[in-house]
Structure 1
Amino acid sequence: MVDTQGLLLGVKVLPANITDREGSQQLLQELRQELRQDQPQMKLHLFADGGYKGKWEGWVKTTLGYTVEIVQRSDANTRGYWLPEGQELTEAQIKTFRGHRGFVVIKKRWVVERSFAWLSFDRRLNREYDLLPQTTEAFIFLAFIRCMIRRLAAFAQQNAVPT
């Protein structure tokens, strides 16, 4: 989970038999406990992929009290069309199928993708060598700490007062 600047708020590495929805519920509950201790007045507005629409969205709103905005393509759920016999698909309909779609900017999606790209620069995270999920989580935190230190160093260098 990242903020709107792409900086890490929390991370949870889970086994493959736990869905992203279940994992996100665990992560959000842990994050809520941390926020209660540090900043009890803080409310989150979450941007989530279309896969989180439905029960998960309702759970976040009722249980945690956070607002949720589902961000997805307008043609995300197009799987096919029923056409009368002899009628052909239009060019617009063909473009809604995977492999035929053009590039569409999706609100806030690039923030998460950019954060994943930052992680890909860390060679240690390119392969899964760890036995424990906590080890992978620690290396993800280290990668983001390194990223933040580089940002701070660049900012300090730009704003340094010449002597």
Structure 2
Amino acid sequence: MNGRKHHLIVDTQGLLLGVKVLPANITDRAGSQQLLQELRQKQPQIKLHLFADGGYKGKWEAWVKTTLGYSVEIVQRPDANTRGYWLPEGQELTEAQIKTFRGHREFIVIKKRWIVERSFAWLSFDRRLNREYDLLPETTEAFIFLSFIRRMLRRLAAFAQQHAVSA
């Protein structure tokens, strides 16, 4: 994925609602704004409740709420904003305080974060999407859509087969 960023909007099942492939010099916030505006134009009837990580807190969050009318929930680590501690002279950091610093943090499951990460992982199963082969970003977007269409068809086929056997 050289030189490009892939922006995805997925539902809570991890299924694709929208995709935008943009140059890597466009920030995640700006890229997601483009994607959300396109999704809003194509499907104005959809009302979304977005889950976003701490990097989207502030101006982006306000823009989504006021411009698009979507609700936003920022999900982040409980120790996300820990920069340091003021301690009295001679007092040492506790083990719990040390674990809040980057490089010492333990794995924590963050609400809803795994959904989009799982969707990106599904894309890695497609060899075509493991490397940036395509000249046009629209071609990469089309292959991402195809990947998710194939995934949905497999789910539907498994569901139909399961219910045909039990009937």
Pair in the same fold by TM > 0.5: yes
**Greater strand share, 1 or 2?**
2
Deviating above 6 A after TM superposition, structure 1's stretches of 4 or more consecutive aligned residues are: none
* Length-normalised TM-score, structure 1: 0.92
* Residue 129 (1) aligns with residue 137 (2): no
- What is the distance in 2 between the residues matched to 1:110 and 1:17? 25
Identity %: 87
Pick the aligned partner of 2:55 from 28, 51, 57.
51
The offset of 1:123, in angstroms, is 0.8
Pick the aligned partner of 2:38 from 9, 30, 34.
30
Question: For 1:78-157, what aligned pairs fall within 5 Å after superposition?
Answer: 78-157=82-161
Aligned residues: 159
Root mean square deviation, CA, Å: 1.4
- What is the distance in 1 between the residues matched to 2:27 and 2:124? 23
- What is the distance in 1 between the residues matched to 2:142 and 2:49? 26
* Residue 19 (1) aligns with residue 22 (2): no
Mark the CA change 1:57 to 1:162 in structure 2 (over 3 Å): closer, same or farther.
Answer: closer
- What is the distance in 1 between the residues matched to 2:132 and 2:81? 32
Q: Which amino acid aligns with 2:53?
A: D
- What is the distance in 2 between the residues matched to 1:161 and 1:87? 67
* SS of residue matched to 1:14: strand
* SS of residue matched to 2:65: helix
* Length-normalised TM-score, structure 2: 0.90
* Residue 65 (1) aligns with residue 74 (2): no
